[in-house]
Amino acid sequence: IRLIAETEKLCSHLHIPLQSGDNEILRRMHRNYNSEQYKDVVRRAINAIPNLGLGADIIVGFPGETDTAFENTHKLIKEFPFSYLHVFSYSPRRGTEANEYKDDVPGNIKKER
């Protein structure tokens, strides 16, 4: 963050994958951060870098994602001036722990989210 803020020749852009704004879903994804830690990093970046272009990845419909968990993600997204989002519906991947989880979010709900 400091290097981008202090170096004119660097593009003022960060892509900071979020995946989910819900701490339980982040835990199930084995992410090494929670929503508060994510928000802290984004706040520091926004405060340090004028005209920051900010992007993130979101996965919707991860196994166990309830309406409340999705709403936590939606609320977090609305807190920040994202320039763009890459939003993906969860799909099982062989060789991952999540592949063993019950894919309990219906396809139409994933698409709606």
Determine the pLDDT at residue 99. 86
> Domains of the chain by range and CATH?
13-112 (3.30.750.200)
Do the beta carbons of residue 5 and residue 49 sit within 8 Å?
A: yes
Q: What is the pLDDT along the chain (113 residues), one digit of tens a residue?
A: 999 999 989 999 999 999 999 999 999 999 999 999 999 999 999 999 989 999 999 999 999 999 999 999 999 999 999 999 999 999 999 999 998 888 789 999 999 99
pLDDT at 102: 85
Please state the pTM of the whole predicted model: 0.91
Give the C-alpha distances (Å, rounded to integers) separating 113 from 29, 44, 58, 69. 18, 28, 11, 12
Dihedral sign for Cα 64, 16, 110, 113, please: positive
